[in-house]
Amino acid sequence: MTLTQAVKRRINEILAQKNVSLYSLSKSGHISPNTLKSIMAEHCKGANLKTVMQIIRAFEMKASEFFNSPLFDSFELDID
């Protein structure tokens, strides 16, 4: 799994948990809808840290909470 895929899966997990749409995430995080669509479609070769932090803040989470997932535990995680 790549880092981009792990970030995408984690975003999807949290969207489902919080019952939030990608559009709402875009608005609350002040993130371009096209940027989020690009991440979710895995068109980008890795979201930059600033964008990931905007997403985390829009979820009203700490970075440690976002990355506290088995998705990020593997030493085999390909860093795109």
Task: Read off the pLDDT of residues 15-43 as tens digits, 9 standing for 90 and up.
Answer: 999 999 999 999 999 999 999 999 898 77
Is a pLDDT exceeding 90 seen at residue 58? Answer: yes
Half-sphere exposure of 6 (CA within 13 A, CB side): 19
Top-tier CATH class for 3-68: mainly alpha
**pTM exceeds 0.85:** yes
d(CA 23, CA 32): 9
Q: How many CB atoms lie within 10 A of CB 21?
A: 10
pLDDT at position 80: 67
